[in-house]
Structure 1
């Protein structure tokens, strides 16, 4: 059990940037909800033993139906999320019974098997890891008046993705500390970092997008179609 791995899939957000009545994670991609595509990626990883899905309270019943319909038998629980992503993740963490945990966004269906494996292997080596991609664009730091105040060295900048991998006990402790101190982070790594955990970056793909806008959905449909054509 020392290397047992669980996954928390976070899909409790509403998301307004997509401009649709339906939440982005439930939009169809080739006649299948985006969330199901994501779950299937982790379902097929032999080294992963259990998955917890955290979603909106009103969406729990239909998610359970999809899990049954698509044979996602590694999903051990479907839980209602909290008001913030951080609260949702913590509920998922508390439902796992593994040594390691990978936290992943429900709207990142294009993460590759090799990236998931690399993320876990790196975490086993150093304690914690996050998938990320080097920033391609020049980034400017801008003040409140809209003026550039700094141009950071692009070579030191990475766009952070998921999965993010940690020892479950260490990440839970980081979440508990953040709650005690009223800290709200933007991702799991930010909570781990402030708890003193060193987090290593694992280079991922630019294709591992988080589907949040109509433009992302167009790219997602193109990606699914071209992958399908390459396998025929």
Structure 2
């Protein structure tokens, strides 16, 4: 996979072809028309995703080498094509990135500490990783002034430690990497601002990374993506069938990640996500097809969306 980049003067404009209001959020699993929903089959059930979840929410886009997205049914065939043991893997180190300021939330504290369903956003993914068998280290990249808020979990779970946030994402990941064991089997990097990732997604991505060396959760792009050189007029439309919206976790073998960091430093490169480091070697990165519900909390309107997804999950579990 290759990172899709534009020059400094180039911007990507994402045009949403279908819109839904937040008031319809709670019913997002009920299909209305083929144009506003996409069917994604998992091993246990079929799921649908509304247009309002199609906005860009990942750190970047990649051009995959696994074949083109063919629309309805394509994701399920891609998901089924790999060896999906979805079993726990021994000795996995997690780097949980929670050092962002989150200025776009316009809140009185960083977004990862805002409450979602009675607990901070950060706690949702942290508690999930704490439950996953095989996770032996959890490095939370977080500013020192916020660490006391996690005292209750750090006292009872010796696997948890802290690392300093860096100036850029890659610096934060590098700092977190220094707190992991050299012989750990996998490094699992996750954004604390993605509280809705599922255990199934994590285990699938872990198994892909174990087999291929590096793997990333992603979903096929639903929006039409256009390129503009001046920010005023469209230059061209980019072929959507080859584009993927990248999520986290991004999971990499430690030796490969360290080699990638060495290459990035030698070339003085800035990268926006973790597998971009691996692309510089170059080395293959496996795409693990994820769920559209793994949204990144970035702006205020994402909060009611996240609450609705959690409510829908509770309803489905109760049924």
TM-score class, shorter: over 0.9
In 1, are the aligned partners of 2:136 and 2:159 still within 8 Å (CA)?
Answer: no
| Whole-angstrom CA distance in 2 between matches of 1:218 and 1:108 | 14
Is 1:120 matched up with 2:206? Answer: yes
8 Å Cα contact 2:94/2:139 also seen in 1: yes
Question: 1:88 and 1:58 mapped to 2: Cα distance?
Answer: 16
Deviation at 1:141, TM superposition (A): 1.1
1:42 equivalent in structure 2: 129
CA distance, structure 2, for counterparts of residue 182 and residue 74 of structure 1: 36
TM-fit CA distance, 1:193: 0.3
Q: 2-side partners of 1:145 and 1:175: how far apart? A: 33
CA offsets, 1:166-208, max 9 Å, x none? 1112102212332333211000011110121211111100000
- 8 A Cα contact 1:12 1:81, kept in partner: yes
Is the Cα contact below 8 Å between 1:17 and 1:213 reproduced in 2?
yes
- TM-score, structure 1 normalization: 0.92
1:33-182 equivalence runs, <5 A:
33-63=120-150, 65-68=151-154, 71=156, 73=157, 75-97=159-181, 98-182=184-268
Aligned-residue offset at 1:66: 4.3
Gaps of 5+ in 1: none
- Aligned 8 A contact 1:57 1:80 in 2: yes
Q: Deviations over 1:50-97 (max 9, x none)?
A: 21110123222323x14247x5x2643112211111111111111111
CA contact (8 A) 1:41 1:109 kept: no
Does the C-alpha gap of structure 1 residues 145 and 6 become closer, same or farther in structure 2, counting only changes over 3 Å? closer
| Residue 15 (str. 1) matches residue 102 (str. 2) | yes
C-alpha separation in 1, matches of 2:231 and 2:165:
37
| Alpha carbons 2:216, 2:288 under 8 Å: kept | yes
In structure 2, the partner of 1:230 is 316
Q: Do the aligned residues in 2 keep the contact of 1:9 with 1:106 (CA within 8 Å)?
A: yes
Whether the aligned pair in 2 keeps the contact of 1:134 and 1:159 (CA below 8 Å) is: yes
State the alpha-carbon separation in 1 of the partners of residues 145 and 265 from structure 2: 25
Q: Which runs of 4+ in 1 moved over 6 A?
A: none
Question: For the aligned residues, what is the CA RMSD?
Answer: 1.7
CA distance, structure 1, for counterparts of residue 219 and residue 313 of structure 2: 21
Q: Measure the CA separation in 1 of the matches of 2:255 and 2:140.
A: 19
Q: Matched residue pairs, number?
A: 228
Task: State yes or no: 1:207 paired with 2:262.
Answer: no
Q: Which has the larger radius of gyration?
A: 2
Q: Which runs of 5+ in 2 are unaligned?
A: 1-88
Give 1 or 2: higher helix fraction.
Answer: 1
The verdict on how the C-alpha distance between 1:221 and 1:151 changes in structure 2, with shifts beyond 3 A counting, is same
Length-normalised TM-score, structure 2? 0.68
